[in-house]
A and B are shown apart, each in its own frame.
Chain A
Amino acid sequence: MILSEKLILALAMTTAIGAVAGYLGTLMLSKRMSLVGGPLGHLTLPGITLALIYGFDVSIGAFLVLILAIILIWVFEKRTKLPLETLTAIVFSSSVAVAFLFLPHEEIEIALIGDISQLSLATTLVSLLISAAVFLLVNKIYKRIVFIAVSEDLAKSEEIDVDKYNLIYLFAVALVIGLGIRIVGSLLTAAIVSIPAATSKNLSVNMRQYAYGGAVAGGLAAIAGIVVYSLFPIPAGPAIIISSAVLFLLSMIFRRKT
């Protein structure tokens, strides 16, 4: 009974996070930022480590470290004028190294590939609420971000506040990465945003199908992953990502060209 309750909570939380990550992922793909989920996920490792050591929520630790890292990268960029990707590489690799100085050996697997076995009702509800809020936020800015992705100069000429929308978008990315590390850990976050979006792109013929298709593919991968996790001795994070990859392979067979 307890196990089934835990499973229901896991199913609800991972589906919600998977869906919102897939939805946001369609925007990240359009801005060619799918792989950014990887370094950002790795960046969260010191936050996850602190959360595991001091017993607070891993998402809170991850989110705080993400904000700190973004500020650091911004300051470094202002001072050095080095490319953002170089500074991101410096900050994310340093944070991974620092995390491993403190990360307890027995917690390494949880930090890297996530853990959903000890979910509480409160944690699940908070995750659902944040997922829903991020979904609505992304929905609100979706067309503007697509416009910016098509041509930033054109968007500016139409008096779209590009900086404001990019900031909201990055905030949504940080929130989704913070949520995503709950289910897939810091190692696999790029996959929960990039694979569902790619699957959706294969199957959709317009922007609406593409956007919601990303959410559906992300949600389905999460459900399939949790089913696999409940039946076999496989960690949930990798099971979700493998399910997502299988969905992508299927989408290649049914790819729509019109």
Chain B
Amino acid sequence: MQMIKNKKKDIALSVRNLTVELNGQKIIENVSFELKRGETMVVLGPNGAGKSTLLKALLNIIPYTGEVEWSIENLSYLPPKELMERKEILPLTVGDFYSLKQIGKKKAYESLKSVGLEPEVYMRRVAHLSTGQFQRLLIAWALVDDPDTLLFDEPTSGIDIGGTETIYSLLHNFWQKSNMTIILVTHDLSVVWEHADNVLCLNKRGICYGTPMEALTTKNLKELYGVGVKYYKHAR
């Protein structure tokens, strides 16, 4: 981790005084942070803290005030919960799912293989995949265009997607290979210790920002969640 910081100092994302107001209510207020290329930042906060809203503002798909400056080539966004809820609306096969991104069979096969899925899955209905297979598919699908940046909105927390691998560890493998910049939204504190370079604690306003060691103090966690939180620091 330290090596990357030394090699690449350039900034992938710079956010200053970001405020999001929806229906007359401030969802996010005056949030500022910077993210370096190749870093993984976890956005942490309780339910309703504005974490998903932050991602949508960063993607410029909802109105906001303040400044959001990207310096990247190719971004991919993944909202697994929403996709999980809507996977049965149509008889979509895995192949159809790739075709929405205009990805052909050959590239889709390679993409499936990269997350440990068999090529036969290509013909299967998305709705008929197991939860683990579906989560793997989503990772593969999000990364099929070789993005340099991934915005990942709250996957099913720490779910075992086969063996002892979780969606986070699978993602971490890709990060190690391709040096992607990743923003992960979660309310799962353990993910921060295992996968984050930096953490942004959000509860409508930015409560803390920095490395997990700097940011996740007992005081900050209490302010973030409103109650005392006990946690264990994991070795990375």
A42 within 8 A of B: no
Number of interface residues of B (CB under 8 A): 24
The answer to whether residues A153 and B79 also contact, given A30-B89, A205-B125, A207-B90 and a CB cut-off of 8 A, is: yes
> 0/1 per residue, B10-35, Cβ < 8 Å to A?
00000000000000000000000000
B82 (CB) vs chain A CBs: closest residue = A151
The answer to whether residues A205 and B93 also contact, given A153-B59, A153-B61, A157-B61 and a CB cut-off of 8 A, is: yes
Are the C-beta atoms of A207 and B91 separated by less than 8 Å?
A: yes
Tell me the interface secondary structure of chain B in the complex. Answer: mixed
Bound together, the chains give a CA A32 to CA B92 distance in angstroms of: 16
Chain A residues with CB under 8 Å of B83's CB are 150-151, 154
Are the C-beta atoms of B82 and A153 separated by less than 8 Å?
A: yes
Are the C-beta atoms of B91 and A210 separated by less than 8 Å?
A: yes
Number of interface residues of A (CB under 8 A): 22
The answer to whether residues A157 and B92 also contact, given A150-B86, A151-B82 and a CB cut-off of 8 A, is: no
- Smallest CB separation, A202 vs chain B (Å): 9
Are the C-beta atoms of A158 and B86 separated by less than 8 Å?
A: no
Q: Which of B95-103, B156-164, B174-182, B220-228 contacts A (4 or more CB under 8 A)?
A: B95-103
A137 within 8 A of B: no
Are the C-beta atoms of B59 and A147 separated by less than 8 Å?
A: no
Extra A-B contacts (20), CB below 8 Å, given A149-B90, A157-B76: A30-B90, A32-B89, A143-B99, A147-B100, A150-B92, A150-B100, A153-B59, A154-B78, A154-B79, A154-B83, A157-B151, A201-B90, A206-B91, A206-B95, A207-B90, A207-B91, A207-B92, A207-B96, A209-B91, A210-B90
9 smallest beta-carbon distances between A and B, as pairs: A157-B77, A207-B96, A156-B61, A206-B93, A147-B100, A210-B91, A30-B90, A157-B59, A204-B91
Chain B contact residues, CB within 8 Å of chain A: 56, 59, 61, 75-79, 82-83, 86, 89-93, 95-96, 99-101, 125, 128, 151
